[in-house]
Structure 1
Amino acid sequence: MGVLDLIKSRRSIGVTAEKDVPDEVIQGLLEAATWAPNHKKTEPWKFRVVKGEGRVKLGEEMARITAGNTEGLSEEEAAKKVEKARKGPLRAPVMIVVAVSPSGKVPEIEETVAAGCAIQNLLLYATEQGLATIVRTGDIAYAPELKDYLSLEAADKIVGLIYVGYPKREMDIKAQRIPAEEKTIWFK
């Protein structure tokens, strides 16, 4: 499959089987991510891979953090939010947390974009490997306590929680994009 066809075939798929994704496959995803372009070769990304029992532990921590941020919600709404946070990491057999670690050598936006490129590389390689992926964030991704739990620095920012697994069923999700011509102005 050519690169453009691979790009066009990539979809966010959040329904995965509980089948284990081998560590060697995950290593391949991370390797692909590290080949993202980045200004001044700062390589500003950090990865945290969560598998197995680690997902349960992360879910408990996410539930604890969420419980501390439910002020103003009814008891029922708070309980739902906490339970959703607890179950989050169990959506797929693997969660890869991607963070950007600003170097100070270039504007932070450039390093955030580089981390986004790393995510795209990872997603494209996952598609080629027959894996289902979906990227999430939500309020929990911005919680300082989650960064602490994941051994990230205070200045690091989580840019994606990537859920990885094998698709539970065959997915043929059609997609359309606005043609580039409608979003482009040429200066010649």
Structure 2
Amino acid sequence: MATRKSRARGLVPVTAVGLGLAAGALAALAAQRHMLDALRTRLDQLEASAQDQRHTNLAHQQRLHWELLSKAIDSPELAEVLDIFEAPASPQERRQYLFANALYTNLLFYYRIGNLSREEFHGRMRGLLQNPVVRKYWYATQGQRATLPDDSDEAGLGRMVDELLHQLEEADIDEWWVVGEPPVE
């Protein structure tokens, strides 16, 4: 019997060591899980900060774009620098095209920062395209849009506007606001 007791006593410390190791492993896993959660939270914060910085950069770029266009609109001499349209444009047409460009670019920036959905962009462009000057501007800048990378947001939106303009010109109704299928998000 004494032998049995010594075997039973030997199992108790081994079991206690096993439980201790398991508890230590669980504690290490819990600490690791806590650290991973903290890292995930920090990564989310950094991504949000990067998105905010991107929006700030786009807003700054839009402001600079408008300042440059304003100078060109106010000065025929400066507007000549931006005369890169398909067909020759008079000084008045050039100023109108520059303003149409400002309107389009404003919508583009709104879309890029998430203030407009693709469907809303489509609807706003449908309204702008009711103006004959905006239509002429759109045709006069085809060559510029052709240089955009095919997979860029701007190229995709440009193709969408091209299709919308085609549909508007082909439509045989006065209700322009129903022409063209809004894009699927």
TM-score higher than 0.5 = no
- State the structure with bigger RCO (CA 8 A, min sep 6), 1 or 2: 1
Task: Pick the structure with more strand per residue.
Answer: 1
Task: Pick the structure with more helix per residue.
Answer: 2
